[in-house]
Structure 1
Amino acid sequence: MPQMSFTAVRRQQFSAALIALVFILVTALLAALITRSIQTITTTANAIDDARATAAADGALHSLRKQLGATIRDNAYWDDAYQQIRKPDTKVAWIIENWASTTADYPLYDTAIVVDAENKVVVAYRDGEDMGSDLPVFFGSTINELLLAARLTSITDAIPVHFIRTARGTALIGAATIQPSVIDDTVDQRGFHILVFAKHLTPEVISEVSGTFAIKGLSLDSAPHTGKLSVVLTDVSRRNVAYFNWPSEQPGTKSYLAVKGLLHSAALILVMFLCALGAVGFFTVSRLRISESKATFKAEHDALTGLLNRSGLIERMKQASSNARGEFAVMRLHFIDLDGFKGVNDAWGHAVGDELIVCVADRLSETLPQNALIARLGGDEFAVVTVGTATPAPASSIGAQIQIALQRVFVLGDRTIEIGGSVGVAFTEASAVDVGELIRRADIALYRAKDLGRGITVEFEDAFDVDTKVQDRLEHLLRQTLAGNGIDVAYQPLVEAGSGAICGVEALARWQAPDGTCYGPDMFIPLAEKSGLIDLLGMQVLRKSVAAARHWQGISLSINVSPLQLKNPAFVQNVLDTITDAGFDAHRLCVEVTEGVLISDPEQAQRAISGLKQAGVKISLDDFGSGYASIGTLRQFGFDRMKIDRSLILALDNDTNGGAVLNATIALANALNIPVTAEGIETEEQATLVRLSGCDELQGYLFSKPVTAAQLSAFYFDRNSTKTA
C-alpha cells in the first residue's frame, strides 16, 4: 500500500511535470506565434505606409512635370507667339516682355530661354536677369539632348519635361518648339525656335511638395540615403540626376512601441500574460485597422466637404455594380455644375466660396435619398449616383430634387446668396457598368445643359454623340476657313433719322464653308467662342472691315465684340494695332458690346473700354432692353451710344404698351446724354415712331439688307451711282 502510494505520487508528479511542460511548450509556442504575428502586423503596416508615401512622391514628380508641360504647351503652341518670333526687329522685346521678365516672380518657372533653329540663344533669363548665351556652362551638355528631344516632338506628343542638374542645383526643365496651335504641313519645322522653361527645386519648392503630398521630412539629395525611402529624378536620357529622400513614418512600429510595456508586464504571470497578450494583439490590430480606415477615408473623400471624391465615387460605383449582379436595376450618374459660383468667389473671396461649397454639400446630403452616393469632383462640380428602377417619375427624379435644392436661397452669415445648378444625367444597367463611358456621357449631358441656358437637367441621348461629332467637324471647317482668311464681311447701313442719309455701317461676319455651305452667325459665333477661335475670327473681321471702310469717308464703322474678346488682356492693343496698320481713323470706329461681359467681368470690361476710349474709339451698348443693364451700369461705363434691342421695335406692332416702353427707354438714354440707335426697322410706321421717340440713327431692312463692300460702295459712294431705293 505504501508502495502504491509512492507510485501514485510519482505518477501525479510526472503528470504534473508533463502538464507543466506541455503548458510551457504550448505557452512558448503561443508566445512565439503571437510575437511573430505582431512583427508581421508591424512590418505590414510599415510597408503599407511606405508604399503610400512612395506613391505620393511619384505622384508629386508626375504633377510637377505635368504642370510645367502644360505651361510650356500653352506658351509654345501659340499662334501669336509664333508670329511674334518671326519678327526679327521685335521678337527679343516680345520674348522678354511675355516670358523672360516673368521669371523674376512667376511660380511655375524661374528660367525662360528661347533658342533659334541653330540652337543659338535668342533670350535666356533666370530670376528676371539675363543669364548669358552659353547654356552648357549652366546646364551642362544635357541641355543639348533636351533641345534635340523637343525638335523630335510633334504637337500631338507629350512635351519632354525632365530633371537636370544646373550650376544652381537641380531643376525641372522642359522644352517645345514654338509653332502654330493648328498643325500646318506647309510650315518648315526645321526653322522653329524652341521655348525652354525651368523651375529649380529650391527648399521652398521641396517644402511645398512635402506639404501638398503629405510627405514629412522630404529632402532633395544627390544620392539615396540609407535607412530612408527615396525616388529617383532622371534627365532626358534616363540618367539619375537627384533623389527625393524622406524618413519612413513606420506607423506599425509606433503602434508596437505603444503596447510594449503592457506585453512585458503581462509576461510576469502566465494567465495575465495570455490575457494581456490577447488584449494587446486585439488593441494593435484595432489601431492598425483604424489607421488604415482613416487613410482610406482620406484617399476617397473630399477634404472640404467630407463627401466622396472622384476616385472614391468610382470605387463605390464599381462596388454597386458588383452588388447588382443578377438584379434588374439601373445606375444613374448625375453631374452637377453650380451656376453663378464664380460670381460668389469674385465678389466675396474664396473663403465665402468654400463656405458655400460646404453648404451645397450639406443641402444635397439632406435632400437626396440616404442610399444616394454624393461626391464633390472638384471646384464647383458635384456628382450623385443612384441605383434604382429604370423609369422614375420626372417629378420625383433625382435631377428635379437637385434643382429644387440648389434654387433655394443659401444664407451665409449676413449674406444671402442665390445660385442654381446645371445637371447632366446618364444611366446604364447597374450590373454591367462601364464607369468611364458613363462618366463621358454624363459630362456630355452636363455641357448640353449649360449650353441650353443653365439651371436645367438634361439626360444623355445617343444623338448627343452625333451632335458632338458634327460640332467637331464644324470646328475643323471653321479652323480651315480662318486659316485661309476665309471669313466674309457684310455691311448694313445706319442712316440719320432726320435726313435718311447714311452715317455709318455695321460689319457683320459671314461664313461659307469650303464645301459651299453657308452658316449663320447664331451658329458659328458660339462655336468660335467654345473652341477658342473667337479672337482670331473677331480680328479677321476687323481687319477686313477697316480695310474696306477707310475708303468710305464721313461715316462710322461698327463692329460687334464677343464678351470673350473683351476679356482678353491683349484685345485693346490688337484693335489699335489693326486700325493703325490699315490707316483707319480710330474716331470712326465704334465697338458694340452686350451687357453680358459687363456683368460677368466688370473690371476687365472697364479696363478694355477705357483703353479703347482713350484712343478715340467709341463704345456702344448693344441690345439694350433685352437684359438687366441698370442706370448705374450705363453711368459707370460711359457709353457713347446705345442700341435698343429689336424686340422693342417688334413690340410696337404686337403690344399695346410697346410704344410706352420704347419711349421710356429712349427717354432714359436721353437723360444720360447717350445717343440712341434703333435696329430692326422694317416699316415706315416703325421708322416714324422711333424718330418721334428721339432716336437719331436707324437701321433695318427698310433701308438696306446687309450687302457686300462692293455693293455698298456702288450704291452710296460711287459718283455715278443712282442713289434710289
Structure 2
Amino acid sequence: MTFPMEEMNPISVEARDPSAVPDGLGSRRGLSVRITTSVAALMLIAVSIAIAGLVWAARKADNSAMRYELSLLRNGLDAEQQRIAKEVEHYAVGDAIYHFAHSRYRANWVHTHIASRLAESYSHDLVMVLTPLRRPIYANKNGSVWVPSIYDELLAENIDYLVRETQFAFAEHVYRRPSNKLVFMPDFTGNIDAAYRSTFQLVGGVPALVTIMAIAPLSANVALLEGLPSTLVTVRYVDDAFLQRISTVNRLMDLHFVAGAERTGNSESALPLYDSKSKLLGHLVWTPSKHGSAMMDEAGPMMVLALSVILLLAVGVLRHAHTSTVRLAESEAFAKHQALHDDLSGLPNRVLFSRRLEEALLQARRTETCLGVVYVDLDHFKEVNDTLGHYAGDELIKAVARRLQSCISPADTVSRISGDEFALLAVSRHDVAGVTDVCRKLEAAFSEPFTIADQTLHTSCSMGVVISSGEGHTPVELLRRADIALYRAKADGRGRYVQYESSMDDKLRLSRQIERELRTALVEDQFELLYQPQVTSDGATTVGVEALIRWNHPEKGMLSPGHFMPVVERSDLMWQIGAWVIRTACRAGHAWPGLLISVNVSPAQIRHADFAELLRTILEEENFDPRRLELEVTETVVMDHTHAAMRVFRELREIGVRIALDDFGTGYSSLSYLRRFSFEKFKIDRSFITSVETEPEAAAIVHTLIGLGDALGMHVTAEGIETQGQHRFLQAAGCETLQGFLFSRPVREEIISARLRDEAETDSNVTPLERAESSVA
C-alpha cells in the first residue's frame, strides 16, 4: 500500500492553535483506521488459512495413522506366523523327533514329547501328524488325544496341496552322499531351518493359523528314509487371546475378527484376511487412532480465541525493538557456541580442543604433572554408511559421543575432530597408568554393541596415545604424535590402543616414502603381473592361472607383494592398483581362451561401494567373459566385513564372476562361511600341504577338507605343492586342482602361452575348462 508523500510528513503541533484540530490529523486517524482494518483483515485471512490448514493436516494425520496401523497389523501377523513356525520347528526338527514321529512311529512318544507340549506350553489347539501319503495317524485337540479323522473333517480339503508342497520343499534339500546315505542339508535364508508352510484358514468355521512342517532330523549324520517325509500340522485359532497379543504389541484398539465380506463403519479400519487360495475369510477390524481429529477438536476453540487475541497483538509491535535486541544477543551467543562445537555430536570441535589442550599444557608445566591425549578412530565406519546409510552413520556418531563422555571425568574433554575421529584430553590422570586406564575403559565401553536404526552394531575403535609433561610440546605436535600412534594401531590390526614412541616417526616416514614411490610406480607403469598355473590332478593340463603382482622398483629390483602391499592396503592406492591388476589380467586372458583367470581381492576393495560397478565396467571395456574371472578373497573379508561382503558378492554373482575363498583353514575357518556365502571354490593353504608327508594330523586335515568340498559341491584347489610326494598324496586324495612350484613358479604371460601351446599339441580339441571338468569327473 502506498501513501501520498504529504501524509507521511510529521505534523508540527507547535505551529498550530492548540484548541484547533490540526490540519491532516483527521486524515491521519483515518489512515490509522484503514491500516488497522487492513491488518485485521490480513490477520483474519491468515487465521482462516491456518484453520483450513489445520483441518487438512488433521485429516492427513488421521489417514497417515490409519495406514501406519495397517502396516503394523500386517507386520504383526507376519511376526506371529514366524513366531508360531519357530515354536513348531522345536517339535518337528530333531533326531529323536524324526526317529519316533517318522522312521519308527510311536504314538505315545508323539503325544508326550510333541503334542502335549505344543498344547500346554504354546496353546496350540490342534496338533496332527500326517504320514508321507498325507494321511492322519495322530491327532490331539487341546492337549487330549483325538480321532485322526478330525483332519479329514476340518482341514484336508483346504491344505492338502500345502502339505504336498512342504514335502517337496523338504525333498529339494535331501542329498545323497557317496556312501549312498541320504541326508537333509537345508540352506534356508530365514531364521527357520525347516521346510514349512503357514496359512490362515477357517477351521470349523473359526479363523485359525495353520502351520505345516516337514518332520526332519537336526543332524546331517542321521540317514533319511527313502521317499517323502511325514508332516506335523498345528492349528492355532485366531481367538481373543491371539488378537490381544497382536493388539497389545502394536497398540491397536478393539481388534476383533468379522467373518465374511461384511463392511465396517466409518469409525473403524479393517484388514482383509485371506486363506492360501486367496479366498476371503473375513476382516480384522479395529478402532483407528485419530490424533489429527482429536487435535482439531482441542485446537478449534483455541483458534477462535486466537482470532480475538490477534487484533491485540499490534501492541506487541512496541516491544519489537526490545525483543529484537534480546534475540540478537542470543543469536550471538549461539553463534559463538556453534563456532566451538560440532553440530552433529555437540562435542567441542578442533578449535576448542586445541585451546583447552594449550591451557592444560600450561597447567601441567606449573604443577609438574602429566596429561594424556588420545586420538580415537572408529573402525570400519565407512561400512556403516555404505550398508545402513548416512542417517545410521550420524546416529552412530552421536551414540559414540555419548559413550566417550561416559568414560571420562568432568575435568577431561572429548572432542570430535572430523568424520569418525575423536580426541580425548585426559587431565584428571597424572601418570601413564592413569591414561592407559582410560584407554582400557574405552575398550570395554566399545565391547558393548550399539543399537542404531533397529540394527545391532558391533564396532571397535583404534586409539593413539601420547603422554606429555607440558615441556617443549605444542598442541599441534601432540596431536601429530597421537595421530602417528593411531596410524600404528590401525596397522597392527585395529581395535586396540598404541602409545606413541619416537621410533614411530621413522616408520611413518618410511611408509609415506613407499607410498610416494608407489604413486610414481603407478604413473610410470612399474608394476608387472606374473601368472602361476593351476593344473589338473595329474599335473598335465593347465586349467587356470593366478595373477600375482610384482613391483619392478628402479633401485631395488623386482619386489614381491609383501614389500609394498601393506602400504597399498592402508592407502587410497588399493582402489587404483586393484583396478589395474584386474584390467591387466583380463587383457592377458584374451590370449588363453577358456582358461580361468584368478585375481586376489583385498578387504579394502570389497568394502568399496562401487567395486562391483568398477568390475562390470572393466569386463565390458576389455570384452572379457565374466565366467572366466575368479576373485579370491580371504577369510578376513567375510569375518570383518560381513554386511559389505554379502552385498558385493551378490552383485558380483549377478555379473557372472566366480568367488573363491583363499587360504581356507588358516584363520577362524567356519562351515557357516562356506554355506552362507556360497563360494564356488576354496583353496587349501600351503601350510597344510607342506606337512602332509610328515605329519598325520596335517594329512587328515587335508583329506577332510577335500571331502568337505566334495560334500558341499565346491571346487577345491591345493596350493604350495613343491614335492612329488605331496603331488601323489593330493592326487590320491581326490583334489581336483593343484598349484605350486612343483608345476611352475609365477611366470610372465609369454611363458604361459608357450606352456599352453605345448599342452595343445597333446589334445588340440579340448579347452582347459573341459579338461578340468573331465579331470573332476
- Alignment TM class, shorter chain as reference: 0.5 to 0.7
Q: Does 1:254 align with 2:323?
A: yes
1:306-385 equivalent positions in 2, closer than 5 A: 306-343=346-383, 356-385=396-425
The question of 1:605 aligning with 2:674 is answered no
- How far 1:496 moved relative to its partner? 1.0
Task: Name which of 531, 553, 573 aligns with 2:616.
Answer: 573
**Which residue of 2 is the match for residue 485 of structure 1?**
525
The one-letter code matched in structure 1 to 2:517 is L
3-state SS of the aligned residue for 2:432?
coil
**Cα deviation 1:65-103 (Å, max 9, x = unaligned):** xxxxxxxxxxxxxxxxxxxxxxxxxxxxxxxxxxxxxxx
2:709 is equivalent to residue 669 of structure 1 = yes
Deviations 1:249-306 (A, max 9, x none): x999438789xxxxxxxxxxxxxxxxxxxxxxxxxxxx97x98776654543445554
CA distance in 1, matches of 2:389, 2:582: 37
**Other-structure match for 1:437:** 477
User: In the TM superposition, what is the alpha-carbon distance from 1:483 to its structure 2 partner?
Assistant: 2.1
Residues 352, 677 of structure 1: CA spacing in aligned structure 2 closer, same or farther, 3 A cutoff?
A: same
Describe the shift of the 1:549–1:377 C-alpha distance in structure 2 as closer, same or farther (beyond 3 A).
Answer: closer
- Residue aligning to 1:207: none
Equivalent residue number for residue 537 of structure 2: 497
Say if 1:410 and 1:604 are closer, same or farther in 2 by CA, change over 3 A. Answer: closer
- Equivalent residue, structure 1, for 2:662: 622
- What is the deviation of 1:454? 0.3
Q: Decide whether the 8 Å contact of 1:329 with 1:431 is kept in 2.
A: no
Whether contact under 8 Å (2:409, 2:428) holds in the other structure is no
The Cα offsets for residues 683-702 of structure 1, whole Å up to 9 and x where unpaired, read as 34443444444420011223
Deviations along 1:424-444, whole A, 9 cap, x unmatched? 122333255421222222122
Residue 508 of structure 1, CA deviation: 0.9
**How far is 1:600 from its partner?**
5.2
How many Å separate the matches in 2 of 1:399 and 1:661?
A: 41
User: 2:541·2:759 contact (CA, 8 Å) conserved in 1?
Assistant: no
How far does the alpha carbon of each residue in 1:483-505 deviate from its partner, in whole angstroms, 9 at most, with x for none?
23221222212121145433222
Q: Give TM-score scaled by structure 2 length.
A: 0.49
- Partners of 2:649 and 2:757 in 1: how far apart? 36
Corresponding residue number in structure 2 for 1:700: 740
- Secondary structure of the residue that 1:326 maps to in structure 2? helix
Paired residues for 1:23-62 under 5 Å: none
Distance 1:632 1:504 in 2: 27
Residue 488 and residue 414 in structure 1: after superposition, are their counterparts in 2 closer, same or farther (change >3 A)?
A: closer
Alpha-carbon distance in 1 for matches of 2:384, 2:584: 40
Query: Distance in 1 between the 2:677 and 2:436 partners?
Result: 46
CA separation of 1:714/1:629 partners in 2, compared to 1, >3 Å: closer, same or farther? Answer: same
* Letter paired with 2:470: A
Q: Cα–Cα, structure 1 residues 426 and 393, in superposed 2: closer, same or farther, change >3 Å?
A: closer
Give the secondary-structure state (helix, strand or coil) at the position aligned to 1:601. helix
Deviation at 1:451, TM superposition (A): 1.7
Q: 1:684 to 1:394 in 2, by over 3 A?
A: farther
- Deviation of 1:706 (Å): 1.7
Give 2:633's aligned residue: 593
2:564 to 520, 524, 527: 524
Instruction: Please tell me whether the aligned partners of residues 624 and 644 of structure 1 are also in contact (alpha carbons under 8 angstroms).
Output: yes
Name the CA shift for 1:647/1:428 in 2 (closer, same or farther; >3 Å). Answer: same
Compared CA separation, residues 536 and 379, structure 1 to 2 (3 A)? closer
- Per-residue CA distance 1:635-692 (angstroms, 9 max, x = gap): 5655433223334435657876444443443333323321111112233444344444
Q: Indicate conservation of the 8 Å contact 1:487/1:510, yes or no.
A: yes
The residue type equivalent to 1:488 in the other structure is E
CA–CA distance in structure 1, aligned partners of residues 473 and 483 of structure 2 = 16
Name the SS of the counterpart of 1:318 in structure 2: helix
1:462 aligns with 2:502: yes
Instruction: From 522, 534, 537, give the equivalent of 2:577.
Output: 537
Equivalent residues in 2 for 1:154-553, closer than 5 Å: 253-254=322-323, 296-303=336-343, 305-343=345-383, 356-387=396-427, 392-393=432-433, 396-410=436-450, 417-430=457-470, 432-498=472-538, 500-552=540-592
CA contact (8 A) 2:432 2:467 kept: no
- Residue type matched to 2:510 in 1? V
Distance in 2 separating the partners of 1:447 and 1:438: 14
Deviation of 1:512 after TM superposition, in Å, equals 1.7
Deviation at 1:423, TM superposition (A): 0.2
Q: Distance in 1 between matches of 2:453 and 2:518?
A: 49
Q: CA deviation at 1:384?
A: 1.0
Structure 1: distance between partners of 2:523 and 2:453: 53
- For 2:535 and 2:389, the matched residues in 1 are separated by 47
Deviation at residue 708 of structure 1 after TM alignment: 2.9
Matches within 5 A, 1:6-85: none
For residue 645 of structure 2, what is the amino acid of its counterpart?
A: P
Alignment partner, residue 176 of structure 1: none
Determine helix, strand or coil for the equivalent of 2:366: coil
1:681 aligns with 2:721: yes
- What TM-score does the superposition give when structure 1 sets the normalisation length? 0.52
In 1, Cα distance between the equivalents of 2:575 and 2:388?
30
Offset of 1:618 from its aligned partner?
3.6
The aligned amino acid for 1:644 is I
The answer to whether the Cα contact below 8 Å between 1:493 and 1:504 also exists between their aligned partners in 2 is yes
Matches within 5 A, 1:709-724: 709-714=749-754, 717-718=757-758
Q: Summarize the Cα distance change of 1:570–1:620 in structure 2 as closer, same or farther, 3 Å threshold.
A: same
Task: Describe the shift of the 1:713–1:602 C-alpha distance in structure 2 as closer, same or farther (beyond 3 A).
Answer: closer
Deviations 1:37-92 (A, max 9, x none): xxxxxxxxxxxxxxxxxxxxxxxxxxxxxxxxxxxxxxxxxxxxxxxxxxxxxxxx
Indicate if the aligned counterparts of 2:369 and 2:431 stay in contact, CA closer than 8 A: no
Structure 1 vs Structure 2: percent identity of aligned residues? 37
Change (3 A) 1:304 1:397: same
TM-superposed deviation, 1:587? 4.6
Moved more, 497-506 or 404-413: 404-413
Contact kept, 8 Å, 1:543 with 1:578, in 2: the verdict is no
Matched residue type, 1:254: T
- On the 8 A contact 2:462/2:490 being kept in 1, the answer is yes
Aligned mates of 1:515, 1:450 — CA distance in 2: 29
- 473-482 vs 586-595, greater mean Cα deviation: 586-595
Match of 1:705, SS state, is: coil
Larger Rg: 2
Return the alpha-carbon distance in structure 2 between the equivalents of residues 531 and 395 of structure 1: 30
The 1:291/1:483 distance shift into structure 2, 3 A limit, reads closer
Paired AA for residue 361 in structure 2: S
* 1:297–1:655 Cα change, 3 Å: farther
Alignment match, 2:292: none
SS in 2 for 1:448: helix
Q: Deviations over 1:14-46 (max 9, x none)?
A: xxxxxxxxxxxxxxxxxxxxxxxxxxxxxxxxx
**CA RMSD in angstroms, aligned pairs only:** 4.0
Q: Residue 40 of structure 1 corresponds to which residue in structure 2?
A: none
Change (3 A) 1:257 1:721: closer
CA drift at 1:537: 2.8
CA distance in 2, matches of 1:539, 1:345: 23
Q: Is the 8 A contact 1:715 1:721 kept in 2?
A: no
Partner of residue 134, structure 2 = none
Which residue of the partner structure matches residue 54 of structure 1? Answer: none
Alignment partner of 1:403: what SS? helix
